[in-house]
Amino acid sequence: MVRFEDVEMRYAVGSPILRGANFELAPNTFHFLTGKSGAGKSSLLRMIYLALLPSRGRVTVFDRDTKDLTRAEISDTRRRLGIVSQGFRLIEHLSARENVALPLRIAGTREAVIRRHVPELLDWVGLSDQIDALPQTLSGGQQQRVAIARAVIARPALLLADEPTGNVDDRIAFRLLYLFEELHRTGTTVVVATHNDALCGEFQHSRLHISSGRLSRIPGKIPETGTPCRALPGAPDLARD
């Protein structure tokens, strides 16, 4: 699904953020990405979601070298990804419903399908009472759940979450992680970047750890491949191309 081969990442100044990174993310696996702030977790995620090309080496996403993708192919590849960022990045003047609907609108999904699925997803993240609320009227945890609903509504094959629990307390962080686990059990590959060791301790998944530009892999206690147990609400007719 994602493969890094001898990847080096450096910005214009300073030493490389990442050196000699080699790893592969198999389908339907769950990974934490850990390391101190500024260790390069976000840069690594950005290379996966095609916002950044490696300085050296090769990054392959869905069997395509990211260097070879055209602008249109980048867009099409991103439709198969779900991205949850630390700052939520909700559009302030749109309601929760409209924010969650965006990926479907972009994919050209029929309005009738959108009208059915968006409330289901908001219900799944526990926000069925806040469907028409504007983001600024929601708490941090609620906004993050809207962002998660938006990231998963188009049924991505790979979910990338960058510090999804950075702005919420531990109790809410755990609840968010349960959502990710539930998604993982339905067959999605999940990568959660975090510096919250308590989370990694509680959810014993495999870890990719970045320290001083070096990436190491720490196997988890839970087998990497889960078994799909419960389908997400709706979904089958959202099949991607």
Partner 1 sequence: MVGQGAREITINRNGSPGFLGWVVGAMVYVAVLSAAGALFAQSVSQRWASSLTGVVTIQVLAAEQPVDAENTITRLGAVLEILRATPGIGHLSILDRKSSLALLQPWLGQELVEKIDLPTMIDLRILGSATLDLDGLRQRLQRRTPGTIVDDHGLWLSRVAALTAAVERGGWLIVLLVGVVAAVSVIFAVLSGLWVNREIVELLHLMGARDGYVAGRFQGYVLAVALPASVIGGSFAIATVMAIAGALHNPGGGLGSGLKFGGLGGLRTLDWVILCAVPFVFAALTLITARVAALVTLRRMV
Residues at the site binding partner 1, with contacts judged by CB under 8 A: 49, 51, 71-72, 75-81, 83, 89, 91, 93-94, 98, 101-103, 105-107, 111, 114, 150
- 172 near 164, Cβ under 8 Å? no
Reduce the DSSP state of residue 132 to 3 states and report it.
coil
Closest C-alpha to 148, from 73, 35, 232, 26: 232
Q: How far apart are CA 1 and CA 3, in angstroms?
A: 7
Reduce the DSSP state of residue 240 to 3 states and report it.
coil
Q: How far apart are CA 196 and CA 121, in angstroms?
A: 26
Of 93 and 116, the one with the shorter C-beta distance to partner 1 is 93
Of 102 and 172, the one with the shorter C-beta distance to partner 1 is 102
Q: How far is the CB of 212 from partner 1 (least distance, A)?
A: 28
Of 167 and 206, the one with the shorter C-beta distance to partner 1 is 167
Which distant-in-sequence residues (6+ apart) come within 8 Å of 105 by Cβ? Answer: 114
Which distant-in-sequence residues (6+ apart) come within 8 Å of 203 by Cβ? Answer: 30, 32, 177, 181, 222
Q: How far is the CB of 72 from partner 1 (least distance, A)?
A: 6
56-61 and 64-65 beta bridge pairing: antiparallel
User: CA-CA distances (angstroms) from residue 44 to 34, 48, 51, 100, 120?
Assistant: 11, 7, 10, 25, 32
Q: How far is the CB of 83 from partner 1 (least distance, A)?
A: 6
Of 107 and 238, the one with the shorter C-beta distance to partner 1 is 107
Of 79 and 175, the one with the shorter C-beta distance to partner 1 is 79
Q: How far is the CB of 40 from partner 1 (least distance, A)?
A: 19
Q: How far is the CB of 198 from partner 1 (least distance, A)?
A: 29
Of 79 and 214, the one with the shorter C-beta distance to partner 1 is 79
Q: How far is the CB of 76 from partner 1 (least distance, A)?
A: 7
Of 111 and 202, the one with the shorter C-beta distance to partner 1 is 111
Q: How far is the CB of 98 from partner 1 (least distance, A)?
A: 4
- 95 near 134, Cβ under 8 Å? yes
